[in-house]
């Protein structure tokens, strides 16, 4: 199914909201990510980097002409739980995030655990009802929900900060590194001037601060590393490339055990190895292999070479084994 034919209002998928330390409500939430989602009426719907980029651009351009809200249970015409202040992509371009301003009631709903998930609302082919101008993929908002359409989604990673005590500084790993460098310079300056007394005390205090920041920096980096690793496993799990029993081995880097447990994964065999088919698809510099596979599969459906998107994928991989190899290599198959 081609995205160009999807002039519909979509609600996918739900992503878990986790509270920060001290029951803090997140000011930044993940709305959507790259992936293939199944709609009950329209079949497989691909979300690509270009889809997310277009949504971010249309939000910045204010094409909707109204402030976007996060509502309760996708009841967009009723009260808001929060207002979306800004929309941005992560560094990889695979995730769409939003900075939000919660209403007092919305904040209490989250703190009270009355709602646990958030789900984005959007239209692939939004057309302004006054000017009739076409804008493509456009974010409409999001809804709080307790019945996610898609399971095993990556949880939102909240508040990547080191110190959550009231009034304390909150720094991400990059800011901590900069702070460490500044303190090192100050220590070097003090060492050159020290002659005893108060200077020695200041030196000791500065050294302690440096050690504290170094410890926080290390902890933050470890937390970020574990978060990224968990997200990677969750993605493999959602794609059917792993099973839950492999999680502990994956997180602890026990590849021997991870491989032993791999027999539980039921992956379909494409049977293309050794066919000797020459590569016919050349990826452009910087072109995403997943986007290319989705493009070719949609083209096969449009040209009626395949009855649906899944059949299109099989056709693409059978005709272009080298492209399949790149795809599998990229996603760890």
Averaged over successive runs of 10 residues, the pLDDT of the chain (333 residues) comes to 46 57 75 80 81 94 92 84 94 91 90 84 89 92 73 40 36 68 77 61 76 84 88 81 80 75 47 40 75 85 85 83 79 58
pLDDT at 326: 79
Q: Is 203 helix (H, G, I), strand (E, B) or coil?
A: helix
Which pLDDT does position 1 carry in this prediction? 41
Instruction: Quote the pTM value.
Output: 0.44
Residue located via tokens 């209403």: 103
Q: What 3-state class would DSSP assign to 25?
A: coil
First CA to last CA across the chain, in angstroms?
25
Per-residue confidence (pLDDT) for residue 119, from 0 to 100: 84
DSSP label of 34? S
CA distances from 82 to 29, 68, 149 (A): 11, 9, 21
Q: Are strands 69-72 and 134-145 parallel, antiparallel or unpaired?
A: parallel
pLDDT at 183: 80
Q: What is the pLDDT of residue 67?
A: 92
* Token digits of residue 327: 């795809």
Q: How many CB atoms lie within 10 A of CB 198?
A: 9
Match 């204010």 to its residue by tokens. Answer: 62
- Mark 213-247 as b/e (b = at least 16 C-beta within 10 Å): bbebbeebeeeeeeeeebeebbbbbbeebbeeebb
Q: What is the pLDDT of residue 267?
A: 41
Q: Name the 3-class secondary structure at 41.
A: coil
Q: Quick one: pLDDT at residue 75?
A: 80
pLDDT at 53: 94
Q: What are phi and psi of 296, to 5 degrees?
A: -70, -35
pLDDT at 52: 94
Predicted pLDDT of residue 172: 58
């Amino acid at each position: 199914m081609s995205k160009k034919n999807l002039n519909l209002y979509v609600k996918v998928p739900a992503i878990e909201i986790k509270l920060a330390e001290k029951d803090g409500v997140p000011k930044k939430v993940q709305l959507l990510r790259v992936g293939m989602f199944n709609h009950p009426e329209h079949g497989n719907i691909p979300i690509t980097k270009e889809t997310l980029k277009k949504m971010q651009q249309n939000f910045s351009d204010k094409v909707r002409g109204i402030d976007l809200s996060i509502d309760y249970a996708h009841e967009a015409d009723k009260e808001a739980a929060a207002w979306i202040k800004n929309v941005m992509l992560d560094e990889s371009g695979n995730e769409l995030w939003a900075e939000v301003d919660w209403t007092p009631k919305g904040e209490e709903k989250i703190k009270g655990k009355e709602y646990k998930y958030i789900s984005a609302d959007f239209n692939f082919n939004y057309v302004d009802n006054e000017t009739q101008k076409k804008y493509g993929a456009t974010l409409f908002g999001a809804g709080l929900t307790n019945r996610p359409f898609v399971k095993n989604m990556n949880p939102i990673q909240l508040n990547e900060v080191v110190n959550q005590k009231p009034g304390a500084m909150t720094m991400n790993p990059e800011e901590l590194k900069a702070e460490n460098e500044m303190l090192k310079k100050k220590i070097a300056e003090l060492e050159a001037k020290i002659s005893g007394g108060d200077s020695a005390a200041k030196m000791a205090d500065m050294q302690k601060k440096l050690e504290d920041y170094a410890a926080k920096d290390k902890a933050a980096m470890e937390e970020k590393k574990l978060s990224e690793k968990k997200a990677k496993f969750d993605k493999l799990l959602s794609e059917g490339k792993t099973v839950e029993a492999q999680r502990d081995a994956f997180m602890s880097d026990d590849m021997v055990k991870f491989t032993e447990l791999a027999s539980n994964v039921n992956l379909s065999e494409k049977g293309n190895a050794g066919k000797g088919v020459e590569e016919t698809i050349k990826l452009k510099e910087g072109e995403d292999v997943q986007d290319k596979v989705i493009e070719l599969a949609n083209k096969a459906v449009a040209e009626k070479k395949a009855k649906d998107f899944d059949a299109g994928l099989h056709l693409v991989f059978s005709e272009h084994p080298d492209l399949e190899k790149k795809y599998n290599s990229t996603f760890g198959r």
